[in-house]
Amino acid sequence: MSVEQQTAAAEETAEQENPNILEVRDLKKYFLIRKEWKIVKEKVPVAPAPTPAPAPAEGEGEAAEAEPEAQPEEAEKPAEPPQEAFKTKHKLEYRKTYVKAVDGVSFNIAHGETLGIVGESGCGKSTMGRSILRLHEITAGSVVFDGKDITKMKASELRKIRPQMQIVFQDPYSSLPPRLPVGEIIGEAVKVHGIVPKSDYRDYIISVMRKCGLQDFYFDRYPHEFSGGQRQRICIARALALKPKFVVCDEPVSALDVSIQAQIVNLLKELQQDMHLTYMFISHDLSVVKHISDRVGVMYLGNFVEMGSKNAIFNSPMHPYTLALLSAVPVPDPHYHVNRIILEGDIPSPANPPKGCKFHTRCSHCMDICKEVAPKFIDYGGGHLCACHLYPQDEPEAQG
């Protein structure tokens, strides 16, 4: 048995023991955006002044003796409690304001699976993707990648597993260094991590380029000589040259023309099959996510509100936010009438999210409980999870 076959067999056994390549638990990422001294008003109670005992009036003693039963009710009246007085005080307070970009998410991704992540701009998709790869230091929670908790890893340990976890960014224009030729851009990290022997370097890079639909002579060309689609292929080749197991694709086709989008999505799908890759595919475009994903997670203001198989999310959505997102997808049939659900207002600030269900300020089904109590993220069968008070809340909380 060759070394490669042995490695593949060992990986297969590991996969059978643990089907998940990624296990994320209660992941939080808060950004500190403001530190300031602030003058705040405070109400402080004023101690009541001691009330002097009333001095008996002249002749009062005799009168009381003379008519003892004259005011029995008044004598039994309980003394009224003293009215508590307050005064306003000003004090200086040191305040820190955080953006709760990711506010406690839990989910798993199985080997070879594609988890699509959808949600409005600013809901925390990119922050979550980067936090999982520890490109951001996380605030709380754990990320277990291939059986290892990477949240507690030292930089030296993390460096060793870095090649296995890669990211493809949204903007292929700004994510390529302009002064390096394509071959070097793709090969830079291959050299650093010693992915192949030096003698095989050029051949290996060219083979990766071919896989990604790039011609051999592009090796010595510079990024400005390429179109958006070709640049994104270079970005994908750069990530895949490191032989990763898991790739976060952060809106990889959002900056491309629609015709090129399909080519890149199909390329990602082919490469996934070839290299047995696992993807987290982030996009705000539901039709792209539908095309590539096995499961889909819907995010709103730093949390998942719904997660399930592609069929469950697209054919029987549960959460009002998912319904609104789906109703906004254009249908290429002029005779097909869609009842669009228009969400009122903007997404609230993640620095000061609404109490209870974070979606309640925009939800047409909002009830009193929604304004007070955050709904639990519950599995309603077959791994279809939802966080909404429209559905029973008495089941145990589930992990995605």
Ligand X SMILES: Nc1ncnc2c1ncn2[C@@H]1O[C@H](COP(=O)(O)OP(=O)(O)O)[C@@H](O)[C@H]1O
Residues found near ligand X in the complex (CB under 6 A):
31, 33, 99, 101, 119, 121-127, 350
Query: Locate tokens 């629609």: which residue?
Result: 258
How many residues belong to the site for ligand SF4 (CB under 6 A)? 14
DSSP, res 228: H
> Could you identify the residue written with the tokens 């993807």?
279
User: Encoding tokens for residue 299?
Assistant: 């995010």
Q: Do the Cβ atoms of 302 and 102 come closer than 8 Å?
A: yes
Provide the token pair at 389: 């008070």
| CA angle (390 as vertex; 386, 392 as ends), nearest 5 | 75
Q: In whole angstroms, how close is the CB of 130 to ligand X at the nearest point?
A: 8
Q: Which is nearer to ligand SF4, 176 or 363 (by Cβ)? A: 363
Answer for which of 168, 190, 268, 370 binds ligand SF4 (CB under 6 A) is 370
CB of 167 to Mg ion, least distance (A): 12
What Cα–Cα distance (Å) separates residue 234 from each residue in 9, 64, 181, 250? Answer: 31, 105, 11, 15
Q: Residue 345: which region, alpha, beta or left (left: phi > 0; alpha: psi -120 to 50)?
A: left
123: partner contacted, choices ligand SF4, ligand X, Mg ion, none (Cβ within 5-8 A by kind): ligand X
| H or E element in which residue 20 lies | strand 20-46
- Using the minimum distance from each CB to Mg ion, give the nearer residue, 27 or 208: 27
Among 276, 190, 280, CA closest to 11: 276
Per DSSP, the three-state class of 333 is coil
Query: Least CB distance from residue 309 to ligand SF4, whole Å?
Result: 21
Q: What is the DSSP letter of 49?
A: P
Q: Which does 252 bind (CB under 5 to 8 A by kind): Mg ion, ligand SF4, ligand X, none?
A: none
What is each CA distance from 132 to 33, 156, 352, in whole angstroms?
Answer: 21, 17, 24
Measured distance CA(44)–CA(89) in Å, rounded: 7
Residue 229 site contact among Mg ion, ligand SF4, ligand X, none (CB < 5 to 8 Å, cut-off depends on kind): none
Contact pattern from residue 263 through residue 302 relative to ligand SF4, giving x for each residue in contact according to CB under 6 A and a dash for the rest: ----------------------------------------
Report the nearest approach of Mg ion to the CB of residue 250 (Å): 6
Q: Which does 357 bind (CB under 5 to 8 A by kind): ligand SF4, Mg ion, ligand X, none?
A: ligand SF4
Q: Which is nearer to ligand X, 31 or 219 (CB)?
A: 31
242 binds, among ligand SF4, ligand X, Mg ion, none (CB under 5 to 8 A by kind): none
Which of ligand X, ligand SF4, Mg ion, none binds 389 (CB below 5-8 Å, type-dependent)?
ligand SF4
Q: Which stretch binds Mg ion (CB under 5 A): 123-131, 310-318, 370-378, 380-388?
A: 123-131
Binding mask 338-367 for ligand SF4 (x = CB under 6 A): -------------------x-xx--x-xxx
Question: 34 or 355: whose CB is closer to ligand SF4?
Answer: 355
Q: Give the shortest CB-339-to-Mg ion separation in angstroms.
A: 29
Specify the residue, 186 or 324, whose C-beta has the smaller distance to ligand SF4: 324
Considering only residues 302 to 341 of the shown chain, the ones binding ligand SF4 according to CB under 6 A are 319-320
- Dist CA 125 CA 123 (whole Å): 6
189 binds ligand SF4 (CB under 6 A): no
Q: Which does 101 bind (CB under 5 to 8 A by kind): ligand X, ligand SF4, Mg ion, none?
A: ligand X
The verdict on 126 binding Mg ion (CB under 5 A) reads: yes
Q: Residue 95: helix, strand or coil by DSSP?
A: strand
Classify residue 119 by burial, with Cβ atoms within 10 Å: 0-12, 13-18, 19+. buried
Q: How far apart are CA 111 and CA 20, in angstroms?
A: 6
> CB 362 → ligand X: shortest distance, Å?
16
Are the C-beta atoms of 374 and 397 separated by less than 8 Å?
Answer: no
Q: What tokens does 347 get?
A: 């997404």
- Three-class SS of residue 104? strand
Side chain identity at residue 262, one-letter code: A
Q: Which residues bind Mg ion (CB under 5 A)?
A: 126
Residues that bind ligand SF4 (CB under 6 A): 319-320, 357, 359-360, 363, 365-367, 370, 375, 388-390
